[in-house]
Structure 1
Amino acid sequence: MTNHDEAATVRPLTLAWVRRHLEPGERIVGAEALHGGATADMRRLTVGTRDGGTRHLVLRSFVDPTRQGPAEDLLHREADALTTLTGTGVRAPGLVAFDPVAAHCEYPSLLMSHLPGRTTLHDEGLETRLPLLARQLAAIHTVRPAARPREYVALSTADTVVVPEGADAATWAAATDVIRRPAPRYEGRFLHGDFQPGNVLLDLPPEDPAGAGAGAAVARITGVVDWAAASWGPADLDVAHCATNLALLHGPTWGLRFTEAYQDAGGTLAAAADERLYWQVRSPLAFSEEVQWVAQPWWEAGRHELTTRAVEERLDAYLTSLMDAPG
């Protein structure tokens, strides 16, 4: 088996487990580390087929503890989500197998099909990609699972907020007071839990890799990955999470525009302005606790201008814009 880099090496027990889930006559002929993930080691496995061709699988392994909870819980949630999405209009990987307690592998792992496309975090072409993202998220929220996933859990609280250096303390205090109130009542929806550009695969014209220019009109989403945080809760939560990511990646205005685009795509948010604000500010306040962790994958993807300090400044500007927005 050929490894494209040392990080792609698959441990012996895990390799044997993967082989047991291949078709007769198939073999693993290569492995490549997939970068950009923040919660698990990801590898793309090349499988040689009986007819001499190849296909790909993706292996997710939780090597280290995560901020999101036990690996067993995350893998069960992802496996359930992938099963739920089979046959829906939402393109997601197909579940092949999972070992949530590392009964067969060195680490808790999940094996799934590989989707075409790639992520893009460039500023160029965002005008075209924004409505694609909004329509995709609205489609996810129309999924009605036979068995509901677990209710969302807010991992951050008003007491864990970290005010960035130089931010207006009064603005942050006012935003923090918003989430001290009980969460508004909501109509539940099937949530991705981490919907953002880094988890959306795109087919972009090869002559226009950033998705800009005339060719960008044919850009399309080929799939959505990383369903380990799937849950049941308010659509506002997913929208706010993606909007915050866009604000930090591309500037505060894009966070506000995504919320509008989601509604233009037919998505429904909380009816009352104070309820919408609750969900809108909860996301950037949660990001304040882990700015460095959030920025690291973007740096590794080539966005070297997004230093921890630069992301903190955008976070402050975005939160301020939310608090200043008319009701």
Structure 2
Amino acid sequence: MRSILDINVLEWVTDSIGPNSDITSIEPLKGGISSSVYRVSVKKNGETETFVLRLFTNEEWLLEEPDLACHEAESLQVARRTSLPVPELVAVDEYGKACGKPAVLMSKLAGHVDLDPGENWYNQLAAALVKIHTVTAASLPWHYFSYTDILSASVPSWSNIPDQWERAFKILKEKPPHNQTCLIHRDFHPANVLWKDGRITGIVDWVNACQGPAGTDLGHCRANLAMLHGVPAADQFLQSYESIAGRGSLYHPFWDLRAFADFALPGPPTVYQGWIDLGVKNLTDDLMKKRTDDYLISILERFLNEAL
């Protein structure tokens, strides 16, 4: 079989799966933009199994975090403590000794990405995130940090509300409020959730998982929803999360703001390539700019409500 992967990668995959394993097909998967991801079908003892192979090919990312494969492998094992469907780790080539690039081989979960809210869509997304946040993750050596240096950040020239960004920076320079420290996914959003027959069948892309404040996960997903469907979608998700988490939810808009600074800066905002790859056609860069401003205003309004 002619392959799109190097022979050393193929040999590592079959060796990892076990004796009598033959690769029958390899297909690139859409939606990932920071690494190369493939669906790999393998015939073993007459039965066909499907796996996902992730190769970390982004050199800039690897320079910043050379332990990416190890990070995802450990995160997968911690995440499987939840009752959520999470890929099972098969093998990890931590620094690319076998594959030439760091690699993670994992089980393939059933389902597909569904970016169109349907009945109970928000509630299921929120319930999944609440379950993630029930895990303490004390064994994970990776800890939350902000991707944005607020002290050196400047008001974005592309925004139509520079005064609101000034206010946001002032708030972010203050001491963070208390928030629950637990397992956080750090990239939880609809494009990393699989569905089948109206039910969630998988949570994927655990490479950034760590110990951290639950509010940053909530804020990151809300930012994605605000860009994808508008501010009302972000607010609906928050309502669902708080309803399900109950008293366990310690929501504070500060974490929305911090997650959004990481999401939006330095900008300018553009349509996420992962959404385009998944078939979204109704978004434009101009709309992303407008929704970015709209969402920032909505977060800052929540600070006024907190003060009442």
- How does the TM-score come out when normalised to structure 1? 0.85
Aligned to 1:44: 39
Distance between the aligned counterparts of 1:220 and 1:249, measured in 2? 20
Aligned to 1:235: 214
The one-letter code sitting in structure 1 at the alignment partner of 2:56 is F
Pair 1:270-2:264 in alignment: no
Aligned to 1:304: 281
Tell me the CA shift for residue 166 of structure 1: 4.6
Q: Which is worse superposed, 276-285 or 94-103?
A: 276-285
Pair 1:29-2:24 in alignment: yes
Q: C-alpha root-mean-square deviation of aligned residues, in Å?
A: 2.1
Aligned to 1:109: 103
Aligned to 2:193: 200
Q: Which is worse superposed, 58-67 or 240-249?
A: 58-67
For residues 81-160 of structure 1, the aligned pairs below 5 Å read 81-122=75-116, 124-125=117-118, 127-145=119-137, 147-158=139-150, 159-160=152-153
For residues 12-23 of structure 1, the aligned pairs below 5 Å read 12-23=7-18
Tell me the CA shift for residue 67 of structure 1: 5.0
Distance between the aligned counterparts of 1:54 and 1:71, measured in 2? 35
Distance between the aligned counterparts of 1:187 and 1:105, measured in 2? 39
The one-letter code sitting in structure 2 at the alignment partner of 1:313 is K
SS in 1 for 2:156: coil
Tell me the CA shift for residue 90 of structure 1: 1.9
User: 1:48, 1:54 within 8 Å by CA — same for their partners in 2?
Assistant: yes
Cα distance, 1:100–1:61 mapped onto 2, change above 3 Å: same
Structure 1 unaligned segments of length 5 or more: list them: 4-8, 205-218
The one-letter code sitting in structure 1 at the alignment partner of 2:229 is H
Q: Once the two structures are superposed, what CA deviation does each residue of 1:237-269 show, in whole Å capped at 9, x if it has no partner?
A: 100000111111111111122112111111634
- How does the TM-score come out when normalised to structure 2? 0.90
For residues 277-292 of structure 1, the aligned pairs below 5 Å read 277-289=253-265, 290=267
Cα distance, 1:199–1:69 mapped onto 2, change above 3 Å: farther
Runs of 4+ more than 6 Å apart: none
Q: Which is worse superposed, 34-43 or 291-300?
A: 291-300
Cα distance, 1:163–1:116 mapped onto 2, change above 3 Å: same
Aligned to 2:234: 255
Aligned-residue identity in percent: 32
The one-letter code sitting in structure 2 at the alignment partner of 1:284 is F
Q: Which is worse superposed, 281-290 or 187-196?
A: 281-290
Pair 1:319-2:296 in alignment: yes
Distance between the aligned counterparts of 2:180 and 2:143, measured in 1? 12
Structure 2 unaligned segments of length 5 or more: list them: none
> In the comparison of the two structures, how many residue pairs are matched?
301
Cα distance, 1:70–1:59 mapped onto 2, change above 3 Å: farther
Q: Which is worse superposed, 73-82 or 188-197?
A: 73-82
Distance between the aligned counterparts of 1:306 and 1:69, measured in 2? 33
User: 2:136, 2:181 within 8 Å by CA — same for their partners in 1?
Assistant: no
Cα distance, 1:68–1:278 mapped onto 2, change above 3 Å: farther
SS in 1 for 2:28: strand
